[in-house]
Amino acid sequence: MPTMLESAGFVNVRRIHRNLPVAQLIEIAVQRGEGQLAANGALNTITAPKTGRSPNDKYVVEEPSTKDRIWWDKNRRLSPERFDTLLNKARAYLQDKDVFVFDGYAGADPENRIAVRVISEKAWHSLFAQTLFLRPTQQQLEVHTPEYTVINVCGMEGIPSLDGLRSECFIVISFEKRMVLIGGTHYAGEIKKSIFTVMNYILPLKGILSMHCSSNIGRGGDTAVFFGLSGTGKTTLSADPNRRLIGDDEHGWSESGIFNVEGGCYAKTIKLSKEGEPQIWNAIRYGSVLENVVLNDRREPLFDSDSITENTRATYPVEFIDNCVIPGIGGHPRNIVFLTADAFGVLPPISKLTHEQAMYHFLLGYTSKVAGTETGITEPTATFSTCFAAPFLPLHPTVYADLLGKKLKKHNSNVWLVNTGWTGGPYGVGHRMKLQHTRAMLYYALSGLLDDLWYNPDPVFGLMVPQSCHEVPASLLLPRNTWQDKPAYDHKARELAAMFAKSFEQYSGMVNQEVAAAGPRI
């Protein structure tokens, strides 16, 4: 068995635990003090002080075979020599330690999947990987050969002055060595997002659009995808009892249709309730993992508590959702939804986009970073994350935008912009959109019941807003009507429109005139 790791240079580890069953991983994690069982059966873990991703500590190794393709404006460079030094330190660090290995896949489409191996020092990180990636059969395990290996030495800290790092934390991808090295953070989301970054490199080079989105399918076989950053509602809105879940965060769009990159879900749990999100509530049980959730004396999760972080999380296999699609494959999407949590409170709760507007807003990727999803974010902050996935894009955004444009033209998908953020005023004055209203608007949009309604163009952003939507107050559809201070709304709308124009300047000359003109009227 040791030869399995010796090929990667890992020798003299104390013991290798390979592909242990869920029960055994939980037993070991509890025995080692890595977590405790909650009353609902989930394993609860604490990752503090880092309770979110560390995007500023993420690096790509500058290697001859890939350096000309990498989008260096948003990817930090690390030299091959620095990477080798860190890798050797990790090998020394794991000597005389127990090591946990998970073997699985990323990509539900057999034609476009990669074999993944996750090596970790924590049992619960191996359980996390088992819930999130695609789990192989015993027959597949016997022939499994990893194409990419994630090495998580969470307890090993880098030395910035010696290792060329920004801090003690590091998430480094070597596309040449096909390795990911993670250290200085216990936050498990780095494992899944590093492989998503790998897929964002591999798939577009094959003509496949990789997407930071959730996806589901209706009773009539119509597929919908939901783009958005963490905290905008991808997981919540795709877990719809009236539709079957394909996946909640990462997908590819090939010539055959869409496919889930993962085998599980990674849901935010702050304010989670059985009444509001019954599917997610019921999925959190034995075999799932909780991150940074407060437990009471009876070990019942206190989902309303943010005393550790607002970015409380749960991970569980996708089949824990009763009406999921196995394997996670669907047809070409009839509807595409861009989710944004607008902290300014000026965007309509739902609007229909032309394909040119879709390209504009895809490249813009406007939303608000929600508290806790990244280190240092304590309240919603307006941001522009191109393709709704900037932290995970190794290639230039226009690569992904060009692929989206071609697929929209070929399959004539409807595109909707849905604001799950604030209404009645900006953050601190207004309030978040009610989930019941967002669900109602999406139901009618995906069902085709908004197709034949009258639409009014938003006077600033040019978005086509439906005049009415059943179960939704008409005043809510026009955001200006929800503000008591109408001049304050006008000022905020112009302010955000100017931010749109400023952010889009970087793509001047890279898109056609129709896309460039699809922004707000300033």
Residues 6+ apart with CB under 8 A from 281: 272, 273, 274
Instruction: Give burial (CB, 10 Å; 0-12/13-18/19+) of 504.
Output: buried
Predicted pLDDT of residue 1? 43
From the list 230, 309, 340, 413, the catalytic residue is 230
Q: Is 447 a catalytic residue?
A: no
Contact 61, 86 (CB under 8 A): no
Handedness of CA 284, 286, 291, 296 (dihedral sign): positive
Catalytic residue at 212? yes
Which residue out of 222, 248, 249, 342 is catalytically annotated? 249
Active site includes 235?
yes
To the query of whether residue 249 is one of the catalytic residues in this protein, the response is: yes
Q: Which domains does the chain have, with CATH numbers?
A: 3-22+58-186 (3.40.449.10), 209-264+327-516 (3.90.228.20)
Task: Give me the pLDDT at residue 445, please.
Answer: 96
What pLDDT score does 2 carry?
A: 43
List of E strands, 179-269: 179-183, 209-217, 223-227, 244-247, 250-254, 257-260, 264-268
Which pLDDT does position 8 carry in this prediction? 65
Residue 13, pLDDT score:
86
Q: Is the dihedral of CA 119, 125, 127, 131 positive or negative?
A: negative
List 89, 117, 193, 492, catalytic entry: 193
* Contact (CB, 8 A) for 352 and 414: yes
pLDDT digits (tens, 9 = 90+) for 435-492: 999 999 999 999 999 988 889 999 999 999 999 999 999 999 999 999 999 999 999 9
Which of the residues 74, 113, 186, 212 is marked catalytic? 212
53 as an active site residue: the answer is yes
Q: What is the pLDDT of residue 468?
A: 93
Q: Which of 235, 288, 340, 351 is catalytic?
A: 235
What pLDDT shows up at residue 522? 77
State residue 371's pLDDT score.
59
Q: Which of 244, 313, 334, 355 is catalytic?
A: 313
Specify whether 193 is catalytic: yes
Strand-strand pairing, 366-369 and 381-384: antiparallel
Tell me the DSSP string of 313-376: EEEEEGGGSTT--SS-EE-SEEEEEEEE--TTS-S-SEEEE-HHHHHHHHHH-EEEEPTTSBTT
Cβ count within 10 A of residue 467: 11
Q: Which of 45, 51, 53, 492 is catalytic?
A: 53
Q: Report pLDDT for 6.
A: 62
* Model confidence pTM above 0.85: yes
**How far is 274 from 469, CA to CA, in rounded Å?**
26
Q: Catalytic: 210?
A: no
| The pLDDT value given to residue 378 | 65
> Which residue positions in the chain have pLDDT lower than 70?
1-9, 11, 369-380
Which tokens hold the place of 218?
Answer: 């209706």
234 is catalytic: yes
Six-digit token string for 482: 């929800």
- Residue 358: what pLDDT? 97
DSSP-derived letter for residue 55 is: G
